């Protein structure tokens, strides 16, 4: 009996995962986090760059898919459906090679991938519970657990007037 219940549970979960977003939109089991890495994000265009000191201690790039880039360049808010913003980061490594050429210690370059890859995916229905954005964080291709992901929406409230997006476009 226990085994049958388990099988039904597995089938239900599998069904929910297979259901198109439109079917999930108004249900309580609607996903609030993004658990699949968007295809081809490393080829997206550059929105901006940033540097985090402290515990993060990285240098980062924020890329956008075509929908994101168009919205940024037209200063369109809120971001349209289908917008995806990616945050990549690497270790902030001193470059001995560059320093030698410059004749002084001043150069830092991107080293190994660090602090995971993050995404914000705009789908107002699917992610209605979190301001229309699905949040994602992947370490080595694996999604962070929901405990971490639950922290995203709260912090992004700080920039509610920019549709929850911190990064501004670098000209």
Contact positions vs a copy of itself (CB under 8 A): 42-46, 48-54, 56, 59-61, 63, 69, 88, 90, 92, 95, 97-98, 100-102, 104-110, 112-113, 155, 158-159, 166-168, 170-171
Minimum gap (Å) between residue 23 Cβ and a copy of itself: 35
3-state secondary structure of 41: helix
24 vs 50 by CB, closer to a copy of itself: 50
Minimum gap (Å) between residue 47 Cβ and a copy of itself: 9
88 vs 149 by CB, closer to a copy of itself: 88
Signed CA dihedral, 61, 62, 65, 69: sign only: negative
26 vs 101 by CB, closer to a copy of itself: 101
Minimum gap (Å) between residue 124 Cβ and a copy of itself: 23
22 vs 157 by CB, closer to a copy of itself: 157
Minimum gap (Å) between residue 62 Cβ and a copy of itself: 9
90 vs 138 by CB, closer to a copy of itself: 90
Name the token pair of 21. Answer: 């977003």
Name the token pair of 76. Answer: 């369109």
Minimum gap (Å) between residue 15 Cβ and a copy of itself: 37
- Rg (the chain; Cα; Å): 19
Contact, 138 vs 121, CB < 8 A?
A: no
Contact, 62 vs 87, CB < 8 A?
A: yes
Nearest alpha carbon to residue 67 among 34, 30, 38, 31: 38
Instruction: State the Cα–Cα distance between residues 80 and 125, nearest whole angstrom.
Output: 12
């Amino acid at each position: 009996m226990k085994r049958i219940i388990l099988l039904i549970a597995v089938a239900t979960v599998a069904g929910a995962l297979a259901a198109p977003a439109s079917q999930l939109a108004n249900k309580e089991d609607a996903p609030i986090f993004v658990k699949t890495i968007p295809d081809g994000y490393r080829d997206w265009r550059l929105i901006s760059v940033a540097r985090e000191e402290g515990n993060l201690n990285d240098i980062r790039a924020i890329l956008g898919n075509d929908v994101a880039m168009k919205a940024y360049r037209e200063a369109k808010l809120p971001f349209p459906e289908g917008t995806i913003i990616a945050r990549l980061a690497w270790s902030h490594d001193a470059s001995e090679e560059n320093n030698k050429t410059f004749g002084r210690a001043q150069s830092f370059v991107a080293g190994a991938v660090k602090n995971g890859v993050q995404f914000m995916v705009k789908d107002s229905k699917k992610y209605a519970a979190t301001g229309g954005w699905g949040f994602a964080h992947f370490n080595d291709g694996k999604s962070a657990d929901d405990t971490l992901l639950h922290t995203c929406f709260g912090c992004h409230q700080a920039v509610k007037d920019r549709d929850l997006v911190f990064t501004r476009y670098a000209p």
